Amino acid sequence: MARVEFLVKAFCLILVITHCQFQDAQTETLSSIGVNWGAQASQPMEPSVVVNMLKNNGIKKVKLFDADSWTVSAFRGTDIELMLGIPNDQLKKLSKSKDDAKDWVKENVTKHVKDGGVNIRYVSVGNEAFLSSYNGSYIHILFPAMQNIQRAIEKAGYGDKIKVTSALNADVYESGSSGKPSNGVFRKDTYDVMKQIVQFLDEKNSPLVVNIYPFLSLYQSKDFPEEFAFFDSSNSEIDDNGAHYSNMFDANLDTLVASLKKIGHPNVPIVIGEIGWPTDGDKNANVQNAKKFYRGFLKKMASKKGSPRHPGTMTVYLFGLFDENLKSIAPGNFERHWGIFRYDGKPKFQVDFSGKEQDKYPIAAKGVRYQEHKWCVLKNNISNITSLGGAMSYACAGGDCTSLGYGCSCFGILNGQGNASYAFNQYFQINDQSVEACDFDGVATIVSKDPTKGNCRFPIAIYSNGNMLQVMHKLGGFFIMFSLILTIVWFHWESFLMGPLTLSVKVQDSAISSPPPDACIRRKQNSPVRNSFASVSIGEEKPFDFLRTLFEGVIAGGTAGVVVETALYPIDTIKTRLQAARAGEKLVLKGLYSGLTGNLAGVLPASALFVGVYEPIKQKLLRIFPENLSAFAHLTAGAVGGIAASLIRVPTEVVKQRMQTGQFSSASGAVRFIAAKEGFKGLYAGYGSFLLRDLPFDAIQFCIYEQIRIGYKLAARRDLNDPENAIIGAFAGALTGAITTPLDVIKTRLMVQGSANQYKGIVDCVQTIIKEEGPQALLKGIGPRVLWIGIGGSIFFGVLESTKRFLAERRPALVHHSKSEKVKD
C-alpha cells in the first residue's frame, strides 16, 4: 500500500518537474536581444543567481562594463554570449603598453575562454569614451588601446572568435540644424579618429557599437515631441528625401548610417550597445512609459523591418538589467533607475522579450537572500522637521533619494516626515542595516513594520558580495566552532566515555576522603607535578584566592606583554606599513622602532589588565561550568578580559599606528595633538572595529590555547614545560591570526584615516577596499601577521606560564610565612 502511494507520488512529482521545465523552455526571446548588466550597486546581485535568471528568461547575449572575474566565471558552461568592457580609466595604460594589454587579455579573456568555457565574443574597449562632456580626454588614447587589445587577442589565438570594438555614445555623430538623417556626419573633433576606428572595425569584421537613448532626447529638450520617443505613432516628424520618420530611434540610426557612408564604410555592421527607458527619477521616467517603450521597441525588433536606411535586423542590448543605486546622478536622477528588474531581481513591469506584446512579467531572480525585515525611520513623536535638513542631506549623500523628487515614485505620497524616513532607510539599507547607520542624532529608530506606501517602496537590502565581512565572520565563526568541537572531542574522548558531568565534581569532592573510583582520576591526583594556579582546573582543589590570582595575573600578563612587544615591534611596524600602503606605494623601512615607548606604556597596563581580569574570571567560571564546557569559560573570560584591556589598548593603538605611518614623531606629542584636534573621539577612533577584531581574537586565542593545553595534558599526563607551552601558544596564535586578518586590515585603515574620514564605517571601508583594490586586499600582510602572532603567541604564553609558575612557586612559602608570623604574634 505504502509502496503504491509512493510510486503515485513520485510519478506526480516527475510530471510536475517535466511540466515546469517545459514551461521554462517556452520562454521565447528574440535571438537579437541582449542585456546590459552593470553592477554599480551597494549590494550587487550574486552572479550565479543572475545567470540563472538570464537563462530562465531566454536571454542569450550579455554586455558587461568590466571583466570582473567572479561575474565572468558565472557564465561558465552556458551558451550566453558575453561582451566584456574595459572601463575608461584603464584606457591610458592600455594605449601605452602592449604588455598591459597582453596581461589584460590573459587574465580577463584567455583564462575564462580556455579553462572555463565562457563564451566571450566581444571586448568593448572604453565606454562612451567620446562623450562631449569628457572634453576630449580619450580622443587620442581610445584607438591605440583598441589596437593593443586586438593584437593581444590575435596573439592569444582568438582573433577570429572575439571581436574588439568600443561602445560609443550617439553624440559622436550629428545631423546639423536640419535634423535630417541624411545629413549625418561624425562630430568634428572625433571625425579623424572615427575614420580610423571605423576602418579598423571594417577590416577586422567587428561591429560598430552605439548607444541610442530616445529618453535622453526627451529629457534634454522641452520641445521634443513626446510620442517621437516611442514607437506607436505613425505621424512623420521628419521627412528626409522620401524617407519618413515617426520615431527617434530610426532617425538616429539612419544618421549613423549616413555618417558611415560619408567616410566610405557603409557596410560596417551596427550593434546597439544600450537602449532602454528608466522608471523613476524624472516625470517621464515611470513604469508606464518604460513598458510602452519596450513594448514598441521589441515589437519593432520582432518585425525585423529596421529603419529606412538600415533595413533588416541587428543585435541590441537593452539597458539595463538592474537598478544601480551607486551610479552618478550627474546626468539626472533617473540614472539609478534604468533596470528592467529592481535591485533585487524582481521585474518592474510587463515586458515580452519575444516582441509579441504579451502582458507578462519576465521571470524574477530566484534565490535572492534579503537582509532582515527591518527599516530605519523617523521616530513617530518628531513633529517639527525643520531641523532635520542636515540629517536628510547626510542620508541622501550616502543613500539614494532619487525617488523623492518632483514627479517621482514617492512624490506626493510621503509628507515631510515620510521624506525623512525614506532618506534614513535608504542610508540604513545601503550600509547593510548597521545599527550605527540608523542614528541621525537620535531622531531615527529601527522598525519591523514595512513603511512602504503605495508605489513608494522602502526597500530591504539584499545580501551580496559586498557583505564579505559577514560571510567571513560566519565562515570564521563556523571554522572556529568546528575546530573547537573537534579539539574538545578529541582530547576529552576519555572523559566523554566516562560520564563527563560527574568528573569534576567527584574530583573536587573526593580530594581528601574516599578513594577515587577510577584509574584516570587517581592518576591525576597522584601526578607528582603540582598544578600551577593557572593551569586548567582539573583536580584543582586549592581554595580560590581572588586577590592573589588577580595580582599574579597582572604581573605575569604585564611581563609577557612587554617581552613580546619589545621582541616583535619591528615586524608589527612592517605589517602596519604594508596594510596602510595603497596600491603602488613603496614600503619605507626606516625607524622600525619608532613609537615603541608609547606602545610599551600602553601594552604593559593593557596586558596586565587583560590577564589580571582573565585569570580570576576563568577560575570562577571553570568552577561553575562542567568540565566539558570549559571552552565557554575560556571564551567568556577572554572576552571580558578583552573588553577591560581595550579601554587602554585602543588609544595606544591609535597613537602607535599614526606614529608608525610617520604622522608623529613622539608618543606624547601624538596624544596631545589627537586629543586637541580630534578630541576624545580621535583617541578612540575605530573602537567598534577594534572590538570586532580584538574581542573575538583574544577570546579565540586564549580558548584555543587553553583547550589544546587541556588535551595535551590529558594525553601527556603531566604538566607542560615551557617549550611545550610556547609551541601550543604559537599554534594558537598563528591560527587565530590567519582567521582574523581581514578584521585587522579594516581596523588599521579606519584608525589611520584620522579626521580625513575617507571611509564612512566598517561596511563602507570593506566595500571601498573590495571595490578599489579587490577582495585580496583584505588579506594584505597576512604573512607577517601570522608570523608575528605565531611567534608572539609562543613568546607570550611561554613567558606567561613561566612567570606564573615562578610566582606560584613562591606562593606556599609566602602563605607559610604569614602563618608562622601569625603564630608568632
Catalytic annotation, residues: 128, 274
Kindly tell me which of 67 and 560 has the beta carbon lying closer to ligand NAG: 67
State the burial class of residue 8 (Cβ atoms within 10 Å of its Cβ: 0-12, 13-18, 19+): exposed
By the rule CB under 6 A, 448 interacts with ligand NAG: no
Measured on CA atoms in the order 787, 789, 791, 794, is the torsion positive or negative?
negative
The interface mask with ligand NAG, positions 31-70, x = CB under 6 A, is -----------------------------------xxx--
CB-nearer residue toward ligand NAG: 285 or 683: 285
Place of cell 524574477: 364
Question: Judging by beta carbons within 10 Å of its beta carbon (0-12, 13-18, 19+), is residue 12 exposed, middle or buried?
Answer: exposed
Size (the chain), residues? 825
Nearest to 622 by CA among 749, 508, 724: 508
- The CB density around residue 562, as the number of other CB atoms within 10 Å, is 16
Q: What's the rounded Cα separation, in Å, for the pair 391 and 409?
A: 22
Q: Contact with ligand NAG (CB under 6 A): which of 37, 75, 104, 122?
A: 104
| 425 scored as a contact of ligand NAG (CB under 6 A) | no
For ligand NAG, give the closer residue by CB, 369 or 771.
771
Q: What is the DSSP letter of 532?
A: P
Q: Which of 26, 177, 384, 513 binds ligand NAG (CB under 6 A)?
A: 384
> Alpha-carbon distance 737 to 694, whole Å?
11
Let me know the angle formed at the C-alpha of 710 by 708 and 714, rounded to the nearest 5 degrees. Answer: 115
**Count of alpha carbons within 13 angstroms of residue 196, beta-carbon side:** 12
- In the block, cell 532607510 appears at 425
Minimum distance of ligand NAG from residue 415's CB (angstroms)? 5
- Cβ nearer to ligand NAG, comparing 132 with 758: 132
86 forms beta bridges with: 125
Is 406 a binding residue for ligand NAG by CB under 6 A? The answer is: yes
Question: Quick one: which of 108, 127, 289, 594 contacts ligand NAG (CB under 6 A)?
Answer: 108
Q: Which CB, 445 or 663, lies closer to ligand NAG? A: 445
Distance CA 196, CA 264 (A): 11
The span from the CA of 315 to the CA of 313, in Å, is 7
d(CA 335, CA 278): 7
Q: State yes or no: residue 116 binds ligand NAG (CB under 6 A).
A: no
Among 178, 415, 668, 820, which residue sits at the site for ligand NAG (rule: CB under 6 A)?
415
Q: Which of 162, 60, 63 is nearest to 110 (CA)?
A: 162
CB nearer ligand NAG, residue 29 or residue 127: 127
Report the residue number, 22 or 406, with the smaller CB distance to ligand NAG: 406
> With respect to ligand NAG, which residue has the nearer C-beta, 137 or 566?
137
Task: Please tell me the distance from the alpha carbon of residue 617 to that of residue 750, in angstroms, as a whole number.
Answer: 32
Q: How far is the CB of 333 from ligand NAG (least distance, A)?
A: 10
Indicate the residue type of 552: E
Among 135, 177, 288, 328, binds ligand NAG (CB under 6 A): 135
Q: Are 47 and 74 in contact (CB under 8 A)?
A: yes
> 462: which strand partners?
370
Q: Which stretch binds ligand NAG (CB under 6 A): 362-370, 383-391, 475-483, 743-751?
A: 383-391
Least distance to ligand NAG, CB of residue 108, Å: 4
Q: How far is the CB of 262 from ligand NAG (least distance, A)?
A: 28
- 328 near ligand NAG, rule: CB under 6 A: no
Minimal distance in Å, beta carbon 348 to ligand NAG?
22
Q: Which is nearer to ligand NAG, 134 or 490 (CB)?
A: 134
Choose between 108 and 119: whose C-beta lies nearer to ligand NAG: 108
Which position among 24, 99, 107, 359 is part of the footprint of ligand NAG (CB under 6 A)?
Answer: 107
Candidate list 144, 159, 407, 416; residue touching ligand NAG; CB under 6 A:
416
Interface size with ligand NAG, residues (CB under 6 A): 22
Determine if 419 is a binding residue for ligand NAG (CB under 6 A): yes
Stretch that binds ligand NAG, among 174-182, 375-383, 764-772, 803-811 (CB under 6 A): 375-383
Cis, bond preceding 117 (omega within 30 deg of 0) = no
DSSP 341: B
Stretch that binds ligand NAG, among 154-162, 264-272, 414-422, 806-814 (CB under 6 A): 414-422
Q: From the CB of 97, what's the least distance to ligand NAG, in Å?
A: 10
- The grid cell for 818 is 604569614
- Whether the CB-CB separation of 348 and 365 falls below 8 Å is answered with no
Minimum CB–partner distance for residue 637 and ligand NAG (Å):
36
Applying CB under 6 A, does 387 fall inside the site for ligand NAG?
A: yes
Residue 381 binds ligand NAG (CB under 6 A): yes
DSSP string covering 125-148: EEESTT-GGGTTTTTTTHHHHHHH
Give the residue, chosen from 168, 197, 257, 404, that forms a contact with ligand NAG under the rule CB under 6 A. Answer: 404
DSSP notation for 535-555:
S--TT--S---HHHHHHHHHH
Among 177, 221, 328, 386, binds ligand NAG (CB under 6 A): 386
Cβ-Cβ contacts under 8 Å for 424 (sequence gap 6 or more): 376, 377, 378, 391, 395, 438, 440, 444
Q: In this complex, which beta carbon is closest to ligand NAG, that of residue 402 or of residue 652?
A: 402
Name the one range near ligand NAG by CB under 6 A: 245-253, 412-420, 496-504, 722-730. 412-420
Burial class (CB in 10 A: 0-12, 13-18, 19+), 106: middle
What value does the CA radius of gyration of the chain take, rounded to a whole number of Å?
34
| Binding range to ligand NAG, per CB under 6 A, among 132-140, 166-174, 180-188, 544-552 | 132-140
- The nearer residue to ligand NAG, 382 or 460, going by C-beta atoms, is 382
Binding segment toward ligand NAG, per CB under 6 A, in 156-164, 328-336, 400-408, 672-680? 400-408
Question: Judged by CB under 6 A, does residue 132 bind ligand NAG?
Answer: no
Cβ–Cβ < 8 Å for 160, 144:
no
CA distance 551 to 708: 25
Instruction: Classify residue 335 by burial, with Cβ atoms within 10 Å: 0-12, 13-18, 19+.
Output: buried
- Region 579-638 residues binding ligand NAG, contact defined as CB under 6 A: none
Near ligand NAG by CB under 6 A, which window of 103-111, 474-482, 635-643, 660-668?
103-111
Touching ligand NAG, residues 137-176 (CB under 6 A): 137
Which is it for the CA torsion 569, 572, 576, 577, positive or negative? positive
Q: How far is the CB of 135 from ligand NAG (least distance, A)?
A: 4
First to last CA, the chain: 93
The reply to whether 103 sits near ligand NAG by the rule CB under 6 A is yes
Please report, as ranges, the residues that interact with ligand NAG according to CB under 6 A.
Answer: 66-68, 103-104, 107-108, 134-135, 137, 379, 381-382, 384, 386-387, 404-406, 415-416, 419
